[in-house]
Structure 1
Amino acid sequence: MATEVTVPVLGESITEATLGEWLKQPGEAVAVDEPIASLETDKVSVEVPSPVAGVMGQHAVAVGDTVQVGAMLATIDAGDGAAAAPAAAAPAPAPAPAAAPAGGEGGAGYGDQPGTSASDAPAAGDSPAALSPSVRRAVLEHGVDPSTVKGTGRDGRITKEDVTAAASSKPAAAPAAAPAAAAAPAAASGRPEERVRMTRLRQTIAKRLKEAQNTAAMLTTFNDVDMTAVIEARAKYKDLFEKKHGVRLGFMGFFVKAATMALKDIPSVNASIEGDDIVYHNYADISVAVSSPGGLVVPVIRDAQDLTVAGIEKTIGDFGKRAKDGTLKMDEMKGGTFTISNGGVFGSLMSTPIINPPQSAVLGLHRIEERPVVRDGQVVVRPMMYLALSYDHRLIDGREAVTFLVALKNAIEDPTRILIDL
C-alpha cells in the first residue's frame, strides 16, 4: 500500500512553491519524519518530511516544477526498506562496467554525455538530482567528482564550499577536467555557456528590489565611524562574554543596539507608508541579512529594543546557523521595521543598499580599514568604517537621515552611551 506525500501548508498567503531538490530517490528507505524533498518558496527553503516509514516510491514532479499546496509530490511504499533498497539497486551492477569509461574524468552524469544515467552515480546522495543547483554548477565549474567529496551540510549533503575546497586541494585535477568542459552546452559562437533557472527565492528578491526602486524615492547618505572603542571593548571582554553567554561577541550586537536607540530618537526612520498613511512603529524589529546556500535572507530580531547585546548576538548566531542548515521558518522572515546589511564581511568598502519594502530605510555596514584621520590637530591612524543609510525620501527628510547616522556614530564611538541609553 502506498501513502501519498503532498505539499504541506507553507505559510500565510503562500499557495505555491518550486521543487528545489529531491533528498530521497526511488527505492531508498525512508523513516518517519525524514525529509524527502526541499521546496523553495518566496522566502526560504522548506523540507518536506515523510508521513510514514517505508520505501521511497515514484516522484510525481521534477526538480524545478512549480507545485501548489496540497498537490502530490511522491508516494511512500509500505515496507521496512532494508530489503527493498538493495532490490531497487540490483540492476545497477549490469551497466556499471560499460558506463565507467563513458563518464570521463571529474563528473560522470553532469553533462549531456551519452551513456550516462542515474545508475552510474556512486551513491544516491551524490547523484545530480540530490545536489542543489548551486552545487551542480560548482561541480561543473571545477570538474570535481561529487562521489569523492565529503559533505559538511545537513545530513551530510554536499555544499558549494565542499566542492570548492575539494577543487583547491587537487590542483593536478584541473588539466584533466578540461576535456570535460568541451561537452558543456555551447553558444552560437562556440564558447561554453550554462543556463540555470532562477530559484524562486532569487526571483522574489529581484521582483521586490525592482519594486523598491520603482516605488520609493530612494536616496543614500553616508558617514564614517571610528571603530577604536568597540574593537578595544571586544578584545577586552570577548573571552568572558563567550564563557558567560555561550556566543561570540561580534560587532553586530553593538550596531543593532545603537540602531534601536537612534530609531527611538528618529521615529520616521522606523516608520512605513501604507496608502496615504504613515505608520510609526513603537518597537524595533530589526531585519539582519545573513548568508544561506540560496543567497542572502533577512530574518527578523523581534523587539530588539528590549534585548541586551548578548541577547542580540545569540539571536543572530542562531539565525546564521539555521540559515546555513536551511531551517529558518517563514514567520521569522516577516515584519521587520528596519534592516541592517553587513557587506563588510565580504570586503565591501562602500555601497548604496536598497530598501526592503515596506520598510523605509536600510543601514549598510562595510569593512573596517585603517585610515589617516585628524584627532586633536594630529594625523593619526584609526580603524574606520563607512556607514550608508538608504531611505525613502517620501517619508524621511535629509536632516532626519543625517541625524540618525550621527546618533549611531556617537553610540559606536562611545559605547558607554549604549549602556546608559544616551
Structure 2
Amino acid sequence: MSTEIKAPVFPESVAEGTVATWHKKPGEACERDELIVDIETDKVVLEVVAPADGVIEEIVKDEGDTVESGEVIGKFKAGAAGESKSDEGGDSGKEEKSEEPEAKSGEPAPSDTGSSAASGDAILSPAARKLAEENNVDPDAVKGTGKGGRVTKEDVQAHVDGAKSSAGSQAASEPAAAPAADVPAGERVEKRVPMTRLRASIAKRLVQAQTDAAMLTTFNEVNMKPVMELRKEYKEAFEKRHGIKLGFMSFFAKAATEALKRFPAVNASIDGNDMVYHGYQDIGVAVSTDRGLVVPVIRDVDALGLADIEKKIVEYGQKAKGGKLGIDEMTGGTFTITNGGIFGSLISTPILNPPQTAILGMHKIQERPMAVNGQVEILPMMYLALSYDHRMIDGKEAVQFLVAIKEMIEDPTRILLDV
C-alpha cells in the first residue's frame, strides 16, 4: 500500500522551503528512519526519513521545487523492497538480455546511440555534437551520463582528455610539443547553479542591514600575549578537567558580556520606532558552512564558564556543518561575534546581524613591532572591529565598548574581578 511522503511542518517564521536533495531514487530500497530527502528553508535544512522499510514509489517534487508546509513531495511503498528482490531473482539471464535494448517511453535505447546522435538531440546535445565533430570523436565510443543516457559536452571533453592522456603516456620520451587548448575557442565552460534558499536569505538580510541601518565601524588593536600565555600554561589542565580545548573565542565572549553590561545600548535592538534594551546577553557566534553563514546563539553567556562556552561553540560548529541546527538555536541573539581570522583575514568591516545593533569582528593574530615603555617589542597583535548602528549607539559608546574588551583581553584578571 502506498503512503504519501510529506514535507515537514515548518515553524511559523518559515513560509516555504525547497527540495534540496533526494537521497533515494524511485524504486530504490530504503530502511525505516533512513534519510530520504532534505528540505531547505531560508534558515535550516529539515530532514525527511522513511516511515518504514520499503521503496520510493514516486517523486512528486523534484530537486529545486518549492514546497509548502505539509505538502506531498513523493509516494512511498512499504515492504516493497523484498518483493522487488524476489522478482529480480526470478528473472533468467535470457530475460535480462531481452530487456536490455528496451527503453522507457521518450528515451532512446542504448543501442541507438549512433543513429540518434546523427539525427538530432535525442542522445547527443548540440554542444556535445559540435565538440565531438571538432575532435573527430565517435559518439558511440562516449559513455553518456546525462538524463536518459544523453551524451553531454562534459562527457565528450572527458573522452578527449582521456585520449590525450593515453597518447601522452606513450610519447613521454618525445620532446614536449606546444600545449593544446583544453577547450575549443568560443566554448569556455560555465556552470550555472541556482542560489540556495539559505544563501539567498543571507544575502537579503545583509543588504537590508546596509540599507536600513546607519552602519559605522570603529577599530582598535589588542595584545594577545597575556591570553596566549594563560592559555599555554593551563591548556592541559583545562582539557583534562573539562574534556574540551581552551580557545580564544570563550575569552572574547566573556569580555563582550562584561562590556555589554556596562554599555546596554550595544546589547539593544531597534523595533520600529522603539529601542529594546535586553537584560541578558545572548551572543551569536558566526559559523561558516558549505550552505552559507549561520549564526547559532549561546544563551545567557553571563552564567556560563569558559568551558561551557567552548563546549557550545564545538557543538554548534558540528551541527552547522551537518545542517542539524534548529531554528530556535539561531534566533533571539542580542550581540554577534565573527572571527575572520581563522581564514587569515587581517582586518575587515563586519555587517550587522539585524535586528541587533552591533557586531564584533575578530581577526588574524599577527606578530608586529610595538612600542612598549619606550622599547620596541615583537608582540602578537589582533585588530578588532566593531560595526554598530549609529541610530542606536553613539560613537563615544562604541569606542568605549571596544576599549573595554581590549583591556579585559590584555589583562584577563579584569574579567574575574569585574574591573
Give the TM interval when normalised to the shorter protein.
0.7 to 0.9
Contact persistence 2:198–2:291 (CA under 8 A) = yes
Alignment of 1:40-79 (within 5 A): 40-79=40-79
Contact persistence 2:21–2:38 (CA under 8 A) = yes
* Range with greater deviation from structure 2 (233-242 or 274-283): 233-242
Distance (Å, rounded) in 2 between the aligned partners of 1:259 and 1:51: 46
Q: 1:12 matched to which residue of 2? A: 12
Q: 2:81 matched to which residue of 1? A: 81
Q: Closer, same or farther in 2 for the Cα pair 1:180/1:263, shift >3 Å? A: farther
Distance (Å, rounded) in 2 between the aligned partners of 1:328 and 1:272: 24
Q: 1:107 matched to which residue of 2? A: none
Q: 1:324 matched to which residue of 2? A: 321
Q: 2:245 matched to which residue of 1? A: 248
Secondary structure of 1:81's counterpart equals helix
Q: 2:175 matched to which residue of 1? A: none
Bigger Rg, structure 1 or 2? 2
Question: How far is 1:66 from its partner?
Answer: 0.8
Q: Deviations over 1:182-205 (max 9, x none)?
A: 59xx9xx54221111000011101
Whichever residue aligns with residue 303 of structure 2, its letter is D
Where structure 1 has 5 or more consecutive residues not aligned to the other structure, the ranges are 103-110, 121-138, 144-177
Decide which of 353, 359, 362 is 1:362's aligned counterpart: 359
Q: TM-score, normalised by structure 1?
A: 0.78
Q: Closer, same or farther in 2 for the Cα pair 1:75/1:372, shift >3 Å? A: same
Question: How far is 1:421 from its partner?
Answer: 2.5
Contact persistence 2:17–2:41 (CA under 8 A) = yes
Q: 2:200 matched to which residue of 1? A: 203
Q: Closer, same or farther in 2 for the Cα pair 1:4/1:406, shift >3 Å? A: same
Question: How far is 1:87 from its partner?
Answer: 6.2
Secondary structure of 1:359's counterpart equals coil
Q: 1:218 matched to which residue of 2? A: 215
Q: Deviations over 1:254-284 (max 9, x none)?
A: 0001100000001100001112211000101
Contact persistence 2:8–2:46 (CA under 8 A) = no
Contact persistence 1:28–1:85 (CA under 8 A) = no
Contact persistence 2:32–2:51 (CA under 8 A) = yes
Q: Closer, same or farther in 2 for the Cα pair 1:112/1:279, shift >3 Å? A: farther
Where structure 2 has 5 or more consecutive residues not aligned to the other structure, the ranges are 102-108, 115-125, 129-142, 159-178
What is the CA RMSD across the aligned residues, in angstroms? 3.2
Distance (Å, rounded) in 2 between the aligned partners of 1:181 and 1:238: 52
Whichever residue aligns with residue 222 of structure 2, its letter is V
Contact persistence 1:55–1:84 (CA under 8 A) = no
Whichever residue aligns with residue 52 of structure 1, its letter is A
Distance (Å, rounded) in 1 between the aligned partners of 2:68 and 2:301: 35
Distance (Å, rounded) in 2 between the aligned partners of 1:179 and 1:357: 52
Whichever residue aligns with residue 267 of structure 2, its letter is N
Q: 1:37 matched to which residue of 2? A: 37
Distance (Å, rounded) in 1 between the aligned partners of 2:234 and 2:325: 30
Q: TM-score, normalised by structure 2?
A: 0.78
Distance (Å, rounded) in 2 between the aligned partners of 1:119 and 1:368: 54
Contact persistence 1:18–1:64 (CA under 8 A) = yes
Q: Closer, same or farther in 2 for the Cα pair 1:417/1:71, shift >3 Å? A: same
Question: How far is 1:13 from its partner?
Answer: 2.3
Q: Deviations over 1:32-58 (max 9, x none)?
A: 222211111111211112223311221
Q: In the alignment, does 2:116 pair up with 1:116? A: no
Q: Deviations over 1:328-380 (max 9, x none)?
A: 11111111110100000000010000001000000010000100111111010
Contact persistence 2:347–2:363 (CA under 8 A) = yes
* Range with greater deviation from structure 2 (16-25 or 391-400): 16-25
Distance (Å, rounded) in 2 between the aligned partners of 1:334 and 1:86: 50
Q: Closer, same or farther in 2 for the Cα pair 1:88/1:296, shift >3 Å? A: farther
Q: In the alignment, does 2:283 pair up with 1:286? A: yes
Q: 2:333 matched to which residue of 1? A: 336
Q: 1:388 matched to which residue of 2? A: 385
Distance (Å, rounded) in 1 between the aligned partners of 2:301 and 2:206: 25
* Range with greater deviation from structure 2 (326-335 or 75-84): 75-84
